[in-house]
Amino acid sequence: MLKKKKAPNQRKAKIGKMKKLWVISILFLCLGFTSQVGAQVTFVAKLSKSNIGVNERLRVNFIMNVDGDNFHPPSFDGFRVVGGPNQAVSNSWINGRKNYSKTFSYFLTPTGRGTFTIGQATIEVEGVLYKTLPIKVEITAAVDKANDGSDAGAAAKESVHLIAEVSKLNPYLNEAITVVYKLYVSKDVSVTRQWREIDNPKYADFWSQTIENRQQKVHEGEYKGKEYRYVILKRTILYPQKTGELKIEPYVLDVPVDVMSNKRDIFGRRLTTTVNQTVAAGNITLDVKPLPEEGKPADFSGAVGKFNFRVTTSREVLDANQDLELIVKVTGNGNLKLFDLPEVTLPSSLEVFEPKRADNVKTDISGMKGSISQKYTVIPQYKGNYPIKAIRFSYFDLATESYKTISSRPIVISVENGPSSKDATSEGVGTEDGATKRKVVMTNDQFKYLKLDADLIKIETLPFFKSTLYWSLLGGPLLLLPLFIFIGKKRKTQMLDIAGNRKRKADKLAKKYLSEAKRNIKDQESFYESLERALHNYLKAKLQIETSEMDKQTIEGMLLERGGSKEVVGNYIALLKSCEFARYAMLSSGSMQDDYEKAAKSINNLDKQL
């Protein structure tokens, strides 16, 4: 039986279709290979403590950043499993990046004292086997207060730390040092509510200035060899004012920590419990060195840092009784606000007024920067040349640990026109520099600059009655009567417009409390910080209390007692909660605009009821 041959066009179409299938298959293989190579899998084991008593419990977490299969725990030699495995999945956004983690937790009790090793756990991700590293645990004698490894308070205590980092522990007197306060939070817990300051250091023996960190960005870091997230709370610049051992008082915070509990909801998900943990940056002792006596200049006034020094005048040639400005200025980096400028000594024939001090100093994390100056107003009395000697300024240079002295250039003031000093007679009154101070005798030429003939011209007065001004003052009020009537009618119409008055009142309240939030509507974190602050400021003004230090339940109860309805109060509390969580979620500008309008409406509704 003969086979029928296919037409040439059909064969070409079939070959083209097969080529397309091959191309698509190759593309899918490339994409699969790229995703497999690009995804970096981490699979680690973490312990609640690496050193425990024989009567304590140990929590072991096996954490992966992708969803793996066929998880196999180690044998836990030397331990008895008393809880687990508990499984938890977490999805979070940090600085706009999505983080996924899956955790298997076990609770163990040791079978005896000694050093034991938690073996390797394994998991399979897309056919590839991953293993954790072995971890050693030291089991000591029984402790007085045992920790069961699952206590929320103990977990919070181990997971949140407040650290004070000092730039230098052995500074010189008046040398700038920086204290950076960081809050470290373990990845096993989370902090979703604002912490509260309990105690602030007083810095009694220091000149201090604190630089608040308003935009608290989350960083990744390590603390005692473990991975943590941390935020920089604030930086403080200190200038020690005494030598010897000086103590920096601890900074204390109350931090609400969300800890995973063993309880689960009806869907099997683990519930979190909030524990208020008090953390403190411990006492810090500085050993402040005195400035060296060797080589200290006699005119040293306490300047420490790196400086430039100048003495300038507004002009050097003038006439008698004209004024000039003499400026003594120091610029640089150091303790600019903590020392005096050199004094200026001028000839006795120059009249000098009290100087005016001007400070242009900014403080950042490296200390004070800018300039300080003193401006003298000088008026010469007689013509002649008046030399101003070079002025010296001394400071201690921290870079070379030695004293430096800068001298200004000599200045000569030339007075070209005016009375001559020879017109005065001397009575031999001595001055401090050994010169003779002469008593000035007044002459007729002393007042030659004053004009004694005034050449006054008599001005004829015009009658006020029936003048243009008279008729304007008389008829002006009559012309304004229609305007007053129009304004009165318009005001009466506005008072009868109840809906319009409510809208205007709402706009006024929104503008008063939400103006800062509206300015920051393009910056999500700043917007929600300003919005939350505005909501608390409204309650503070209405209730006369600090509501920012209270929890939501207490605020809700007080508002209901004052006459607020459940619906309006509930919307207000929901908006406060939304401000707290919105800083950690990615939202669009439309969502922020909606929250702004909700805030304006909630404030207006609550204000009418209260």
Does the pLDDT value for residue 73 go beyond 80? Answer: yes
Q: Which residue has the tokens 């201090």?
A: 208
Residue 492 in domain: no
**Claim to verify: residue 388 and residue 509 sit in the same structural domain:** no
Final residue before a domain boundary, out of 420, 439, 459: 420
Say what the pLDDT of residue 265 is. 66
Q: What is the pLDDT of residues 283-311, one digit of tens each?
A: 889 999 999 999 999 999 999 999 999 99
The answer to whether residues 386 and 413 touch, using CB atoms and an 8 Å cutoff, is: yes
Give mean pLDDT, residues 310-315: 93
Say what the pLDDT of residue 450 is. 63
**Claim to verify: residue 316 and residue 343 sit in the same structural domain:** yes
> Could you give the residue ranges of the DSSP H alpha helices within 304-414?
none
Q: Please tell me the distance from the alpha carbon of residue 603 to that of residue 515, in angstroms, as a whole number.
A: 13
Q: What is the pLDDT of residues 3-60, one digit of tens each?
A: 444 455 555 555 666 656 665 555 555 444 444 444 588 888 888 888 888 777 788 8
**Claim to verify: residue 62 and residue 141 sit in the same structural domain:** yes
Final residue before a domain boundary, out of 149, 166, 189: 149
Q: Which residue has the tokens 């308070």?
A: 153
Q: Please tell me the distance from the alpha carbon of residue 279 to that of residue 250, in angstroms, as a whole number.
A: 10
Most trustworthy range by pLDDT among 205-214, 269-278, 402-411, 547-556: 402-411
**Claim to verify: residue 110 and residue 201 sit in the same structural domain:** no
Residue 336 in domain: yes
Give mean pLDDT, residues 425-449: 45
Confidence band of 539 (pLDDT split at 50, 70, 90): confident
> Which CATH number is 362's domain given?
2.60.40
Give mean pLDDT, residues 438-449: 51
**Claim to verify: residue 319 and residue 395 sit in the same structural domain:** yes
- Return the percentage of the chain with pLDDT > 90, whole number: 24
Distance of CA 482 to the CA centre of its chain: 57
Give mean pLDDT, residues 110-123: 87
Give mean pLDDT, residues 155-165: 85
Q: pTM for this one?
A: 0.50
Confidence band of 501 (pLDDT split at 50, 70, 90): low
**Claim to verify: residue 316 and residue 373 sit in the same structural domain:** yes
Q: Please tell me the distance from the alpha carbon of residue 37 to that of residue 389, in angstroms, as a whole number.
A: 76
Give mean pLDDT, residues 418-428: 54
Distances (CA, A) of 49 to 46, 135, 148: 9, 11, 11
| Domain of residue 333, residue span | 304-420
Residue 23 in domain: no
Q: Please tell me the distance from the alpha carbon of residue 183 to that of residue 279, in angstroms, as a whole number.
A: 9
| Structural domain count of the chain | 4
Q: What is the pLDDT of residues 364-411, one digit of tens each?
A: 888 999 999 999 999 998 888 999 899 999 999 999 999 999 999 999
**Claim to verify: residue 130 and residue 160 sit in the same structural domain:** no
Q: What are phi and psi of 170, to 5 degrees?
A: -130, 65
Say what the pLDDT of residue 32 is. 46
Residue 412 corresponds to which amino acid?
A: V
Does the pLDDT value for residue 546 go beyond 80? Answer: no
Q: Please tell me the distance from the alpha carbon of residue 413 to that of residue 324, in angstroms, as a whole number.
A: 10
**Claim to verify: residue 186 and residue 113 sit in the same structural domain:** no
Task: Quote the mean pLDDT of the chain.
Answer: 79
**In DSSP terms, which residues pair with 277 in a beta bridge?**
255
- Return the percentage of the chain with pLDDT > 70, whole number: 78
Q: What is the pLDDT of residues 316-340, one digit of tens each?
A: 999 988 899 999 999 999 999 999 9
Residue 282 in domain: yes
Give the torsion through C-alpha atoms of 567, 568, 569, 572, to 10 deg.
120
Q: Please tell me the distance from the alpha carbon of residue 530 to that of residue 517, in angstroms, as a whole number.
A: 5
Most trustworthy range by pLDDT among 212-216, 219-223, 573-577, 580-584: 219-223
Task: Please report the beta strands in 338-424, taking only residues with DSSP state E, as ranges in sequence order.
Answer: 350-352, 356-364, 367-380, 384-388, 392-397, 402-407, 411-415
The answer to whether residues 201 and 162 touch, using CB atoms and an 8 Å cutoff, is: no
Residue 475 in 3-state DSSP? helix
**Claim to verify: residue 137 and residue 63 sit in the same structural domain:** yes
The per-type count for the chain, helices as H runs and strands as E runs, is 8, 32
66's tokens: 């992708």
Final residue before a domain boundary, out of 420, 452, 469: 420
**Claim to verify: residue 162 and residue 145 sit in the same structural domain:** no
Q: What are phi and psi of 201, to 5 degrees?
A: -60, 145
